[in-house]
Amino acid sequence: MKATVISIFTQKGGVGKTVSTINISGVLAEMGFKTLVLDVDAQANASFVGYAVDEDIEYSIAEFINSNEDPVYHQRGKDGNVYVVSGNEELETPKSRDSLKKAIKKVENDFDYILIDCPPQVIKDKEISFGEIAVFASDFIICPVDYDEFSLDGLTKLIISINKLKATKGLKAEFLGFFFSKVEEQTVDFKEAYKTLSESKIKDLLFLNYIRKNKFIRTSLREGESAVFLKPHNPVSMDYRKLTGEILSKVKNNGK
Ligand SMILES: Nc1ncnc2c1ncn2[C@@H]1O[C@H](COP(=O)(O)OP(=O)(O)OP(=O)(O)O)[C@@H](O)[C@H]1O
Ligand SMILES: [Mg+2]
């Protein structure tokens, strides 16, 4: 069966896309799902930091997209169920917005889930970005949200730009929703942002589960594995498990 492809996407930087890609893949692995992680960010944090792939390796996302070589995966997570294709600092923007989609087609029957860690890039009308090739390769898009500078306006604009891609460029991916990451539950800022979003016109797009801020995330990044795998009972691991459960049930409700 064809894998379900999910992009972890935002136009904003530093909101938890990479940490979420690593930990959601960690949860999928412990559930027994064979999961491919594609790092399409030239910063390559998901692969070189989060999953500690050796930076000298010769096969990266550039070869995954541009060559017909057999893919070289780096196995991580429970039972080695996470397969990582590393990022590439030299990666040039592909000319076609379907380039990643075509590359994924070759391996989509080998996996249950494919997660794409996107760079923070604004979708523009004239240039193709990696964020764009990722969403064009995806069935679904999920989006971590920062409540520090929370703006309903910013989220609404993101939905508008995704809808515009659907209307004008034939984007097929469904926008599954937003989740708060790096949360300090007791802060007024978080409570207000959560309330504002859950009472807004886009409330159906808010994931009820959120990810609490936890020091162990830093340790896990240093150790090159998901927090979920290293410390299954850590609060942040529990949060990612609940969030992943919610993502999978939304995916199912959307016909997958
Ligand atoms: N739950 C968490 N608890 C504590 N720190 C976190 C948590 N999630 C993310 N961080 C920290 O926040 C920072 C940004 O996270 P991350 O790299 O995942 O964001 P990003 O959206 O991928 O950034 P970029 O846009 O640059 O790719 C990192 O330093 C990470 O350690
Ligand atoms: Mg990142």
Question: What pLDDT digit, counting tens, does each position of 178-229 carry?
Answer: 999 999 999 999 999 999 999 999 999 999 999 999 999 999 999 999 999 9
Q: Check if 120 has its Cβ closer than 6 Å to any atom of ligand 1.
A: yes
Taking CA atoms only, the protein residue closest to ligand 1 atom 23 is: 14
Distance 17 CA to ligand 1 centre (A): 7
Q: Check if 39 has its Cβ closer than 6 Å to any atom of ligand 1.
A: no
Residue 125 confidence (pLDDT) above 90: no
Distance 27 CA to ligand 2 centre (A): 18
Residue 92 confidence (pLDDT) above 90: no
Number of helices and strands (H, E) in the chain?
9, 7
- Domain hosting residue 174, numbered range: 4-253
Report the candidate in 161, 149, 61 with the shortest Cα–Cα distance to residue 103. 61
Residue 123 identity (one-letter amino acid): I
* pLDDT on residue 256: 67
* pLDDT on residue 57: 82
Q: Residues 142-169: what's their mean pLDDT?
A: 90
Q: Check if 17 has its Cβ closer than 6 Å to any atom of ligand 1.
A: yes
* 191 vs 57, residue with greater confidence: 191
Q: Check if 221 has its Cβ closer than 6 Å to any atom of ligand 1.
A: yes
Ligand whose nearest atom lies closest to the CA of 47: 2
* pLDDT on residue 103: 97
Strand duo 74-76 + 82-85: pairing: antiparallel
* pLDDT on residue 252: 95
Mutate to test the pocket of ligand 1, among 179, 216, 217 (most ligand atoms within 8 A of CB): 217
* pLDDT on residue 91: 84
Phi, psi torsion values for 64, nearest 5 degrees: -55, -40
- DSSP line for 7-67: EE--SSSSSSHHHHHHHHHHHHHHTT--EEEEE--TT-IIIIIIT---TT-S--HHHHHH-
Residue 170 confidence (pLDDT) above 70: yes
Assigned token pair, 166: 């659907």
- Count of domains observed in the chain: 1
CATH code for position 70: 3.40.50.300
* pLDDT on residue 123: 75
Q: Which pLDDT band, with edges at 50, 70 and 90, does 115 fall under? A: very high
Secondary-structure breakdown of the chain: helix, strand, coil percentages, each rounded to the nearest 5: 45, 15, 45
